[in-house]
Amino acid sequence: MTDTTKPLSRPASSPSALVTWVLLLAVFAAIYLAALHLPPLLDDADATHAQAAAHMAETGDLVTLKVNGIRYLEKPPLPYWIVAGLYKVLGENAYATHLPNALAVLGCAWIAWLWCRRAWGDRAALYAALGTLTSFGPFLFTRFFIPEALLSFLLLAALYCLLTGFESLRPGRFYIAWAALALATLTKGLIAPIFFFAAAIPTLLLSGYWRRWRQLKPVSGSLLFLLIAVPWHVLAGLRNPTQGHPSGIIPTIGNVHGFWYFYFLNEHVFRFLGLRFPHDYNRLPFVAYWLLHLVWVFPWSLFFPAALIIAWRTRHTWLQHLHRDGGQTVDFYLDHAVREDVASYVFRLKFRTRSAWLLGIFAAFTLVFFALSTNQEYYTWPAWIPLVMLTAGVLASIEETWESVRHEEKQSGSSKTRVAGSFWILNAHILFAVIGAGVAAALILGLWESRNLPYVSDIGTLLAHRAVGDYSLSMSHFFDLTGPSFAALRLPAIIAGVALLLGPTTGLGLRLMRRNMAATVSVGLTAAVFLVAAHIAFIRFEPMLSSKQLADTIIQKGSATDDFVIYGEQSDASSVVFYTHRFFGHPALLVMERCSPHGNGSSMVWGSCYPDAPDIFLTEDQLSAQWGQGNRHWLFAQDTKRSKVQQLLAGKLIPVQTIADKTLWTDRPL
């Protein structure tokens, strides 16, 4: 994927490693580290997963995850082990919960820098790391506690060590690859080795490395993998065995398949086939699934056309440099090795080709796999960094060739020579400027329309409730934005608008002046400022996305003997459960049918069917009978269930607090 038709006549200027990492760490600190304190933990997956980590930290049980006292068997443990350890040091808070995600992104940037520096050079390394830190997808899907960032880092590390183990003749790197793969399996399950080998095996076959298979340490490496990955799976199965006499996939009270069935069949095989129980997830439409990747890798996806053009024009050389003994003539290498000795040039060219194949196959397999399976927007996270790396490598190569050709033209006085891909790079900047101006105009319009509206701290009261995808897609709430909501988003809208007006036009000007590296870096810096503004806006959504304010009210006005009741699934108020569980010292009560195939979400249904599950499930009749009797009750319900609660407990409800689309009541005066 590199145009090698023209030799380079002089070194292209590249930043030093120190300068590069000063810039990268500053960007990382602004986008990720500064964002860890706020907002507090969100309802649904974020605080649910945090509950599981808190259970580990408080009980020392590192085998069985539990949420609100119920077994939570669907996730591997490594992310929860890490967060539980941080809870011991930093306390149970949002910072400790989201710090591993942030560090995993930094780790991905580091691997991208190392890999691209070796394959394409310093400039490509800078672009790859900057692209990792400023792409929209990694930013969006590190705002809550999910394992994809850690999975991506571990898989990239495994792939890098696999390739460099062969290239550098360092057998120790193969052991690192096996260990990283085992940790990736403990992060996300069996898709880790599936994705790894789906990319590694074709690359080894194409490159001829399969003949050196003994260097992979297949026996001792496999034993290391099993030693790391297997013990937890065995212990989890032994501690969570089958109960009763389950029949079929749907459990009933006392009759439930054990961990091994649930984890390996239900969570892996049945999920891929769309048969998983409970079916509490949605699937992106086919076209949207593919087009959204232009968003997840934006703004670096603007350079996809240039990368594709170069890949197509060099298609006849894709296999040329893969094999150790394959390639061009000695004269070819002599002509192209102006900047370094021939041996180093040949080594880098072959490593570059093998890297392109390995990263390309890995990204392609990941994308196709989830196109055929059930998916969420963030499931393809592991493919985003390889896409950025490949794009960065081609982009840097085009720029360096462009600059070398211009230098030769100045020396010879010849006419301008067209460099493959340069036209598409210029077009990418033009498109970026157009998109920036369009989005800035929309933000300005929103600000103008809301200019006379007062600032409202609870943005949830200004949003529509369009329920796109029934809110089972992670980005569903984005479609609830309305014009009046800009009254609460003035500051981030101004920052984003200014960044999108000035950044892309500045980058375009730099590109027209042939200051290529500055132009490309400006793309990343523009995205960085925009993402800072986006996080400020994200904080403004706290009342809608998190219920911590209600938890604070309960802690201030309640007592440890009170009961907290959720009318519905625990994920509706999982942040309240997280922030109050130490205060109460006992699980929240849920008004829903236990072990119900219809009423329970995935975080509760399977574990609630175990016969030893805590008695936390109430019927509506039981809630009505207990309301106003015994200990004080605090009742939480979302707007969609408010009318049912008011009808069930008519005249007995004492409102305490309402934020966004949720209300807290109690059963006696405060």
Closest CA to 176 of 201, 152, 157, 195: 157
> pLDDT value at position 373?
83
- Please give the Cα distance from 484 to 78 (Å, whole number): 42
Largest Cα separation within the chain, whole Å, is 94
Contacts of residue 415, Cβ cutoff 8 Å, sequence gap at least 6: 409
Structure tokens at 597: 């195939």
> pLDDT value at position 334?
46
> pLDDT value at position 470?
52
Q: Count the neighbouring beta carbons within 10 Å of the beta carbon of residue 211.
A: 10
> pLDDT value at position 12?
52
Alpha-carbon torsion, ordered 333, 334, 338, 341, to 10 deg: 80
Q: Three-state SS string across 593-643, please?
A: CCCCCCCCCCCCHHHHCCCCCCCCEECHHHHHHHCCCCCCEEEEEEHHHHH
Return the CA Rg of the chain: 27
Return the bridge partners of 565, or none.
589, 635
Write out the DSSP string of 436-504.
HHHHHHHHHHHHHHTTTSPP-S-GGGG-----GGGG-STTGGGGG--GGGGGG-HHHHHHHHHHHHHHH
Q: Count the neighbouring beta carbons within 10 Å of the beta carbon of residue 65.
A: 24
Contacts of residue 514, Cβ cutoff 8 Å, sequence gap at least 6: 402, 403, 406
- Please give the Cα distance from 578 to 53 (Å, whole number): 10
- Containing 563, the helix (H) or strand (E) segment is strand 563-566
Please tell me whether the overall predicted TM-score, pTM, comes out greater than 0.85 for this model: yes
Contacts of residue 439, Cβ cutoff 8 Å, sequence gap at least 6: 496, 497, 500
Write out the DSSP string of 42-71.
PTTHHHHHHHHHHHHHHH---SS-EETTEE
- Please give the Cα distance from 405 to 421 (Å, whole number): 13
In the block, tokens 């219920």 appear at 547
Q: How far, in whole angstroms, is CA 412 from its chain's centroid?
A: 50
Contacts of residue 588, Cβ cutoff 8 Å, sequence gap at least 6: 68, 564, 565, 566, 570, 573, 576, 577, 580, 581, 616
- Please give the Cα distance from 198 to 191 (Å, whole number): 10
Structure tokens at 136: 């929209």
Return the bridge partners of 226, or none.
none
> pLDDT value at position 11?
45
In the block, tokens 């904080």 appear at 539
> pLDDT value at position 508?
94
> pLDDT value at position 459?
65
Return the bridge partners of 663, or none.
637, 658
- Please give the Cα distance from 413 to 418 (Å, whole number): 15
* Mean pLDDT in consecutive groups of 10 residues from the start of the chain, 670 residues: 45 75 96 93 93 96 94 94 97 96 97 95 95 96 94 97 86 94 96 96 88 88 96 96 89 90 88 77 81 94 91 76 55 50 67 91 95 85 96 92 71 63 86 94 84 67 54 53 69 92 94 91 96 92 91 95 93 94 94 72 80 92 91 93 92 90 91
